[in-house]
Structure formats: structure tokens, C-alpha cells
Chain A
């Protein structure tokens, strides 16, 4: 190729040719409305939606003003302030959509497992995937609290064996191992040992769903696949990153292996583990009645002994639910107003469908000093 010279003076016809190719104001009106902005601020937007909305936002001051107003409405809702009471319909709709995924988290995750679709959860290419990722992160937060606190070292399963759900034929035993590597990949492996020759044939070809037991009740399906011979092995990329868990062997008692038809684990009497920065670890509250959404309200009944309440004097309890990629604050109460052991909290969630949380950790709680701003 001929070397170009910076002193070269291009002729006018050449410049005109370039203008013919590249000229003309080609600004296009990007159809970005309230829904797109609401999806962006609630974190429900996929990568592609986020790019398109950002492209429109950088061109329009008016649209940025609207985005900021919506963000303030959402923050008002997060802080339970009056600004959150006057919420744009598109924003309320996005929050209701996100809450639906949180309520039905077990079912949605199981469906993905049955389709062997961890990629939907690990990726950010669908709205439901984003919400599920966020709910999984909330559950991971509970697990982090549990692991970091010796008081809650053994929450479930007294021996270090996974729970097995479904029919396990006589004459076989299962060896199970789950490891989290430095890249955050969870590798899980099941190896069948025969006590009676030929017994393993009964599980060959069986569909297995691997679930993580939720310390706050219920479980979270994460991987699904078919047993091949005596062996089952699967990987979940980004699991460590999503859940905030570090490298190493995970306790087998953290897992549930469902053979055949995976069903939600009965919730039973569970605990709500509230993150408390001023204490050594999470504070556990007994859940007296299954948290549920009913008639546009989230209803949570907790129990705390007087000693615990005294210890938490000057704190407030915040209730949060993952919606899109954010944790939405649904309500906040000073512990000092909690006069009896059992207390029922009612929080408005207009537009949300009735239902109970299939997975306990999706409902998050934190304890902050009354005047602290959340980080």
C-alpha cells in the first residue's frame, strides 16, 4: 500500500465523494418509553435492552430527567418513604413482575434444571434470568452468613451427607461431592456404588435434580441431568460469583438430591437470618407463620425473645426482596416498637399476586441502627 502523507491536500471531488458516503443526519428516534426506563432502574433490562436504552438516554436530557425521577420513586420505595407511594405504573408493573419470580423461585429454577438450562441463570439475557440470579444471590447471602458464623455451623443435616429425595432402590449407595473452584464453577459429582450386583441399573437414565438447601427454609434447584450408568456429573459456571461463596469443598449436608420428580421442600418452622453489621454474625428470628403476599400486602410474623429485642435496642429491621437486579426495601420498623415476643409485619405490595415464598432466603432482612443509612 502507498504511504499516505499528512501534508497531502485532498481535492474537492474526493471530499464530496466522502460526504456522499457518510453524509446525512441519520439520527433515529429510539422508541424508549416508561417501560424501558423502569426496566433499567429495576435492573430487569437485559444487556441488549440496557444498551438500547442507554443509547437513547445519552441523546436526550428530557429522558434522563425522567429516568432520575423514576430512580427517586424507586429509592422512595426502597426506603419506605412517601416518594415511593406515588410510583409510575410502568415501575409498579416491573416490580410486580420481579416479585412474581421471587415468589415462585423454586418452580422457576426447577423448570430451568429440567431443561438443563443453567446458562439462563448465569447469563443476563432474559428478564427472568436476571431476577433468578438476584434471588440466588439473596440465598447465597444467607449461606455466607451461616458459613461465617460458628453459631449456625450446622443448620441442617447432622451428618455430612446430602438429603436424598425420591425412591433409591435397595442395594446401592451414592457417593456425592461438590466443589467450588477458583473461577466460581460449582462441580457436582455422584457416583453409585453397588452393594448388590446389577442394582445400579435401576438408577441408570434417571433424571436427577441437585438442590441447595436453604437455611431459611425450602431449597433451590441448581442443576439437572440424567444419570449415565453409575455416574452423574454437572457444572454450574459463576455459581460462586452469584452466591458470593469462596473456593473449596462445600458441605454435603448443604445439598438435596431429587430423584425423578423434584418437588418443593415443605417449609416447616424456619428462621429468618437477619444480617446485622453491628453484631458478629446474622441474627436468627423464628418465623411463626409462612411469609406470604395476600391482598396486596406482604405479611411476615416473627418471634424474638425479650433478651434478643433488648440486645437490638436502637436498631430497626428492614425487609427486602430481590426484584430484577436490586434488593427492594418493602418495609422498615424500629425494634423498640416490637412489644411482644411474636409480631406481625404488614407491608404494602400493590399489583403483586398472592402467594407464599417457595424459597425462604428470597425474603431478606437486615438489622441496622435506627439512624444508619443502608450501604
Chain B
């Protein structure tokens, strides 16, 4: 029996939705569907529907989900999502038949979540409303971090100030506001703690979509997430006020699609606003890769860890699994782009990161299975 009150409440809601009289069921449905609405819209967008059409289509899905409620068996969060996804997919196929521009291939080939996956999905989605929990579990599993977020960050900051900024231990203790004598002992233990060293390496080597796009578009003064939003709008209007001296409007547009949205060359070529052919797009990407920071950051980490005799922390598989998981799950990158962001760093620290390894971790979905098992054991 799961003791988590949030999860129990959710299970009660789906039981009410499927089994209670109409009035009560409708109230439960409103709450459940409100939470699912943005995800269904994203699902439809991923199938090729325009953002504006997705909202309308989700409304159609809501009507069909309500109509089908008697056929729904309340079997947990995984089962609920499968029920929603199945109806949404059917709605999408019906809609796509009316519109020639929606590619039917992806829809026709899409499958349903099989029964054997439901226990895994139940575990992975159990805390979905608190997104950070899944990533904290990934930190614990692959980096060995066992402290709460605040404490982990203090340790990480101490390690950054020491290994990357070369600060003296006295200065670090003062900045962290710790007692001088006890602080020295505590700081020494943090700076040699393997999980802190892995955490530091992860934070430095991980460049999410916004951060990398901001850096590549203007390396000397990286653009923030809000500046990227503004840039995106200006590019759409063709009037550029934000300074990005090394890129043209067309190039910057391609880079936002590629780096910020993680799109493949094929997906980029489908956009009407794309003014390049395949070679053109790939040329821009190649030029952008000249600004990728991964080799330099890896080299800096390697030097810092070498002087502390800690280079082994950089080659441990846990660190690279954690990075791949983040790029795969949070940044939703395709395998090729994950390799572009990890292989140069791995090479700089003498670690191994190959396409075959990535294939094993991602295509076989081993990382998610491993995380599901970890979460399940932690709860047990």
C-alpha cells in the first residue's frame, strides 16, 4: 500500500472518475484532465499539429475521454495516461485524415503502451507533479548524492569555488558563513567526497538547450533564456535588435531550432522559414560546434581533478549515464545530438562515450528501467 497522500488522492480521483455517479465523476474528471491538458497538447504538437490546433483538438479529446469513461479501468497513473494517450492518438488520426499537411506515417506507426510497461510507468510517473523528484532520484542513482537540494548546492558551490575558481579554504568558509575551525574539517570532507566531485563534473559538463543556444549565439556575452525568447520573436519578424554579430538571421533561426529545440536536420528542413538545403543546415551546425564548450570545460575539470588525484571521478560510468539521461529526458534530444554534447567532453577527460554505448542506454531504454527500479526500491 502506497502511503504517499498525493498519490492516494490521485488514485481516488481516477476511481471516482470511472465508477462514481455522473456529478462526482465529472468533478474528478475536471481536476484530472486539467493536469493532463498541457501534456496532451505537447503530445499532439510532437505528432505534427500546429500549436493553435492542439488546444482545439485537446477539447475534442476531453469529450471523447468523458464518453469512454465506463470502459476505463482504474489501474494507476500509468493506466490513466495510456487511456488518455490512446484516445488522443485516435483523435489525431481522425483529424489528420482531414488535413493533408499532417504526416500520417508517425501516427500510423505509433504504438500503444503495452501492459507489461505499466508497473514501470506507475513508478516513473508517481511523482510527476513534482518534476524535481525524478531528477533528484537520478542524482542519487548515478551521482551518489544523498543530501537534500539545499545542502547539495552548498557543497557544490564550495567545490566550484575551490576547484574552478582556485579560492583558499578560508575564503570559502567565510563565503559559506561557516565556523572557521569546524568549517575546515567539514570543507575537507566535502572537497574529497566522491558524490560532490561527480556533482561538480555533471553541473559543469551539462549544457541544457537554453544555456548552450545562448552561448553559441553570442559566446562573448551569452544570451539568457528571456533574451532567447526575444531573439526568437525578432527572428520571426525579421527585425533583429539583439546583437549576435557572428550569425545572420537565417543562421540564428536554424540554430534556435537545432540547439534550443533539439530538432533534427529533417525536421528543420520541413519548416517553410528555413532558407537552406541539407548541406546549408549541416554547415551552420558544424560552424556552431566550433563554439561548443565541452572540450574546454572537460579539459579544465581534468586539470583541477588531476591536482587533487580525483580523475577517476570523471571516467565513472554513472556520471555519463546521468548526463545522457538529462539530455534525453529533460532536453529531449535525439541520440546524435546527445553524442555531440557528450563525446568531446568525454574525450577531454579520457572517458569513453561512443554511439554504441548511447544506443544501448537509450534505444534499449535501459536508463529508464534502471531508474524505475531504483525508485521502486527506494519506496519499498
List residues of A whose CB falls within 8 A of some B CB. Answer: 1-2, 4, 6, 8-29, 40-41, 43, 50-51, 54-55, 57-59, 61, 64-65, 67-68, 71, 75, 325-326, 375
CB distance from B298 to the nearest CB of A (A): 15
Tell me which residues from 110 to 151 in chain B have a Cβ below 8 Å from any Cβ of chain A.
Answer: 110-114, 116-117, 119-121, 123-125, 128, 131, 134-135, 149-150
Q: Is B189 located at the chain interface by the 8 A CB criterion?
A: no
Verify A28–B121 contact, CB threshold 8 A: no
Pull 14 A–B residue pairs with CB atoms less than 8 Å apart, ordered by A. A2-B119, A4-B372, A11-B111, A13-B112, A14-B117, A22-B131, A22-B135, A22-B330, A23-B332, A24-B332, A25-B210, A27-B225, A61-B164, A64-B157
Q: Is B165 located at the chain interface by the 8 A CB criterion?
A: yes
- Distance A31 CA – B267 CA, assembled complex (angstroms): 35
A contact residues around B161 at 8 Å (CB): 64, 68
Q: Count the B residues whose beta carbon is within 8 Å of the partner chain — how many?
A: 63
B contact residues around A25 at 8 Å (CB): 208-210, 330-331
- Distance A71 CA – B113 CA, assembled complex (angstroms): 55
A contact residues around B364 at 8 Å (CB): 9
- Distance A40 CA – B174 CA, assembled complex (angstroms): 10
- Distance A375 CA – B224 CA, assembled complex (angstroms): 41
CB distance from B230 to the nearest CB of A (A): 13
Verify A10–B365 contact, CB threshold 8 A: yes
The total number of A-B Cβ pairs within 8 Å is 145
> Contact check: which of A1, A11, A68 meets B117 at CB < 8 Å?
A11
Which label, helix, strand, loop or mixed, suits the secondary structure of the A interface? helix
A contact residues around B114 at 8 Å (CB): 11, 14
Verify B369–A9 contact, CB threshold 8 A: yes
Verify B131–A68 contact, CB threshold 8 A: no
Verify B121–A18 contact, CB threshold 8 A: yes
Instruction: Name, among A1, A59, A326, A375, the residue most crowded by chain B CB atoms within 10 Å (CB to CB).
Output: A1
Tell me which residues from 145 to 203 in chain B have a Cβ below 8 Å from any Cβ of chain A.
Answer: 149-150, 153-154, 156-157, 160-161, 164-165, 167, 171, 174-175, 177, 180, 203
CB closest chain-B residue, reference A72:
B171
CB closest chain-A residue, reference B114:
A11
- 17 further A-B contacts with Cβ under 8 Å, apart from A23-B332, A26-B330, are A8-B120, A10-B369, A11-B111, A11-B365, A15-B368, A17-B82, A20-B39, A21-B131, A25-B209, A25-B330, A54-B154, A54-B157, A57-B157, A64-B164, A65-B165, A71-B175, A326-B174
CB distance from A32 to the nearest CB of B (A): 12
Knowing A58-B203, A68-B161, the reply to whether A4 touches B119 (Cβ < 8 A) is: yes
Verify B210–A11 contact, CB threshold 8 A: no
- Distance A10 CA – B203 CA, assembled complex (angstroms): 28
B contact residues around A14 at 8 Å (CB): 113-114, 117, 120-121, 365, 368
CB distance from A157 to the nearest CB of B (A): 32
Knowing A18-B124, A22-B131, the reply to whether A29 touches B226 (Cβ < 8 A) is: yes
Verify B160–A6 contact, CB threshold 8 A: no
Verify A17–B160 contact, CB threshold 8 A: no
Verify B365–A58 contact, CB threshold 8 A: no
A contact residues around B150 at 8 Å (CB): 51, 54
Tell me which residues from 362 to 380 in chain B have a Cβ below 8 Å from any Cβ of chain A.
Answer: 364-366, 368-370, 372-373, 376, 380
Verify A9–B175 contact, CB threshold 8 A: no
A contact residues around B81 at 8 Å (CB): 17
Verify A17–B121 contact, CB threshold 8 A: yes
Q: Is B257 located at the chain interface by the 8 A CB criterion?
A: no
- Distance A130 CA – B142 CA, assembled complex (angstroms): 38
Verify A4–B113 contact, CB threshold 8 A: no
CB distance from A364 to the nearest CB of B (A): 16
> Contact check: which of B111, B329, B372 meets A22 at CB < 8 Å?
B329
- Distance A162 CA – B330 CA, assembled complex (angstroms): 65
CB distance from B327 to the nearest CB of A (A): 10
6 closest cross-chain pairs (CB), A and B:
A10-B365, A14-B117, A23-B332, A21-B128, A2-B119, A25-B209
CB distance from A12 to the nearest CB of B (A): 7
CB distance from A207 to the nearest CB of B (A): 35
A contact residues around B330 at 8 Å (CB): 22-26
Verify A10–B120 contact, CB threshold 8 A: yes
- Distance A4 CA – B46 CA, assembled complex (angstroms): 29
> Contact check: which of A9, A22, A29, A50 meets B225 at CB < 8 Å?
A29
